[in-house]
Structure 1
Amino acid sequence: MKKTIQWVSVIALMIGLLLPLYAGGGRDNGAGKSQGLKVGILTTSGVDDNSFGQDCYNGVLEFAKANPEASVTTIKEPDMAKVIQAVADIIADYDVVVLPGFNFAPVGSLLQENPDRKVILVDSPPTDAAGKEIELPNIYSMVFHEEEGSFFAGIAAALESKTHKVAVVTGMAFPSNVNYQYGFQSGVNYANKYFGSNTQYVELPSYAGTDVTGKAVGGNYIGSFADEAAGKVVGSALIAQGVDVLFVAAGASGNGVFTAAKEASNVYLIGCDVDQYDDGIKGTENILLTSVLKVMHTNVAKQLQAIKDGTFVGKNDILGASTDSIGYVSAPGRHQLTANTLAKMQQAYGLMKKGSIVPAANFNGHTSGAFPGL
């Protein structure tokens, strides 16, 4: 009997020692690698598109570098019709999912059903099942005044063009891309009026866009953010019409426009969202004039850190020049703009920060030929 009591005591002691280990095995329990935030990023153009998706991914990587215990997974779904289902398929697997693109707006209703999961939504506020814009405590959405950044692309293109023909090439006529188009056209018109250029922006009727309200907006829309072949076709067609400066805002499709420009002579590009100077290398020269910047990575990293720290607040944010979230590359060795062009762009930037210049955008009621500051 004495031996039996001793064994029972030993077993009880072992159970007592093991229980805390099992109790601490979950994701949300204490210190250790299992405590790291599980981050997923789902894109349509990939995290290596040298543009929009990549900059958002850089923000995720920035957070992961500061928080080594975090885990990061990338998912790609190029079919626009399947993106919300793709989110539904993975939402339970991550603490937070980063979604770059206007096409993810309908995720709002899904997040209403999953209040314990969080989303960082880029380029659109969330919408409910009826398509109405909503604000949720578990979604941080950031939209940008893209028209402000592309305004400077328009000025640069107008002042640097030798043929006096320029163009903007975009992916799909989502509000962000229409903003890029209208802002670019506004910048060309501004340069023509105040800086003495005499430049026209060229549009291909066969690639004209229709925005989300059904309104015809013109422009040069490839029809996808992940079709490099189509991007090359559009770029080549514009070059054939004498365009020698193209502003490219088309995700991975824009890589095709880059190819078309590199195969031509005396054609230059303006990059979008990130510094694309290295992508402009053509043998011993570089064909990139500058890049328009939309500072997504900093804001993505900031919101991921807030989730990790427990200070996250869901909201619909609008960012632009006034918060230094829009700009253009002017660092030495990373652009090819003349000193005269840079000076004029800086002059206009100061006016924009003050609110004196408000370029046309998809829904702000202005046109590229009539906006505050023109």
Structure 2
Amino acid sequence: MRRVSKITAACAVAAALALTATSCGESSTESSGSEGKLKVGMAYDVGGRGDNSFNDSAARGLDKAKAELDVETKELTAKSGETPADREQRLTSLAEGGYNPVIGVGFAYQAAIEKVATSHPDTTFGLIDSVSDAENVASIVFTEEQGSYLAGVAAALKSKDGRVGFIGGVDLPLIKKFAAGFQQGVKDTDPKAEVQIQYLSTGSDLSGFGSPDKGRAAAKGMLDKGADVIFAAAGGSGAGAIEAVANKEGAWAIGVDSDQAKDPALSKYADSILTSVVKNVDSGVFDLIKSVEEGKPLSGTQAYSLAEDGVSLTTTGGHLSDIQGKIDEAKKKIVDGSIEVKTTT
């Protein structure tokens, strides 16, 4: 596994932005630039920049590249209910516009990236959260289950009655990795604990990632059954879950992908957010852009694990301070191989 250095927090955006709309209903953001600059194309999943979760983590990597590498950028965002052809068109428009690398944020871009990469062999593509064998694609993946294991340890130690919950956006293998790690961490810490697991949508229905109302209802159902710590790995739906938990005295929410306690849109719930399982997508995005800028574009699988701080738990609010020692102990055991974290429940 390639070792990845820890990346510092993202820098501020220096370039002016202009927002427009495209013919297929997606949103587009383009930075001003000049001839000779590296041009980076970013294709977000539904929710795009401002989703307070997965897409925003990728956006931080792009912002860091803008600030430190002075790149020109164009950002396009998927819309709900679009077809695979829409994703192909989005990636093609970026590649044909001279953007290199072109980065697809999320596993849903895999088929489209593989098709477009074949017809644009001189362009480097980044695929986040899935793996492609195409020679000009860098597959950026994370050990979500390891970060989730630590969240499970925290949940078990903070729960009053050993009843906790996991809400997944969609019952996909990627999200099941979060569930598996979380459940294992809870059970290893408190064998008598009960873990409720619920998915908001199934199969090809990806609405579970963008339905705060579904997240809110699922969390309320778990709270009504006695859960007092709930971890939601559900994209934008997680905001609804966090809101429901915040309305229950003594309950804790666990965020995902970004430090959700620092999210302005969720700031009023910050005191109820125990921690967040962060996937440092920004590190993967920045590393890929920098590799192209240096003329040595990455390809193949780029794995970001707990050992390289590819995943981690946030400490905002100091809510973990009384149990940090036990979390650190669990992390050490995962890194040295004493604990092997499962990827399926």
Provide TM-score, normalisation by structure 2. Answer: 0.81
Q: Distance in 1 between matches of 2:118 and 2:79?
A: 22
* Equivalent residues of 2:258, 2:276 under 8 A apart: yes
The structural deviation recorded for 1:63 is 0.3
The one of 217, 227, 234 aligned to 1:243: 227
Query: What is residue 168 of structure 2 aligned with on the other side?
Result: 170
Residue 344 (str. 1) matches residue 330 (str. 2):
no
Query: What is residue 190 of structure 2 aligned with on the other side?
Result: 192
Q: % of aligned pairs identical?
A: 26
Residue 148 (str. 1) matches residue 150 (str. 2):
no
Alignment of 1:45-194 (within 5 A): 45-79=47-81, 81-82=83-84, 84-85=87-88, 86-93=90-97, 94-106=99-111, 107-126=113-132, 134-136=133-135, 138-193=136-191
Aligned residue identity for 2:79:
E
Aligned residue identity for 1:84:
R
1:280-338 deviations in Å (ceiling 9; x for gaps) = 5447x7101111121211121111011122111311122212322122123xx534124
Q: Distance in 1 between matches of 2:258 and 2:123?
A: 29
The structural deviation recorded for 1:350 is 0.5
Helix, strand or coil: the match of 2:208? coil
Q: Distance in 1 between matches of 2:118 and 2:71?
A: 28
Structure scoring higher RCO (CA < 8 A, sep ≥ 6) equals 2
* Equivalent residues of 1:47, 1:74 under 8 A apart: no
Q: Distance in 2 between matches of 1:276 and 1:69?
A: 28
Q: Distance in 2 between matches of 1:247 and 1:80?
A: 28
Residue 34 (str. 1) matches residue 39 (str. 2):
no
Helix, strand or coil: the match of 2:166? strand
Aligned residue identity for 1:36:
K
Provide TM-score, normalisation by structure 1. Answer: 0.75
The one of 278, 282, 290 aligned to 2:275: 290
Residue 261 (str. 1) matches residue 261 (str. 2):
no
Aligned residue identity for 1:334:
G
Query: What is residue 229 of structure 1 aligned with on the other side?
Result: 213
Q: Distance in 2 between matches of 1:243 and 1:45?
A: 29
Unaligned runs of 5+ in 2: 1-32
1:174-214 deviations in Å (ceiling 9; x for gaps) = 22211001000010111014xxxx4211135xx477679xx
1:74-118 deviations in Å (ceiling 9; x for gaps) = 423333644533334443222222212111111212211111222
* Equivalent residues of 1:222, 1:231 under 8 A apart: no
* Equivalent residues of 2:200, 2:208 under 8 A apart: no
The structural deviation recorded for 1:142 is 1.1
1:328-352 deviations in Å (ceiling 9; x for gaps) = 123xx5341242x211111111111
Query: What is residue 286 of structure 2 aligned with on the other side?
Result: 301
Unaligned runs of 5+ in 1: 1-31, 127-133, 213-220, 368-374
* Equivalent residues of 1:322, 1:353 under 8 A apart: yes
Return 254-263 or 350-359, whichever deviates more: 254-263
Provide the alpha-carbon RMSD of the alignment: 2.3
Helix, strand or coil: the match of 1:77? coil
Query: What is residue 339 of structure 2 aligned with on the other side?
Result: 357
What is the aligned length? 306
Helix, strand or coil: the match of 1:156? helix
The structural deviation recorded for 1:356 is 1.2
Aligned residue identity for 2:214:
A
Query: What is residue 324 of structure 1 aligned with on the other side?
Result: 309
The structural deviation recorded for 1:266 is 2.2
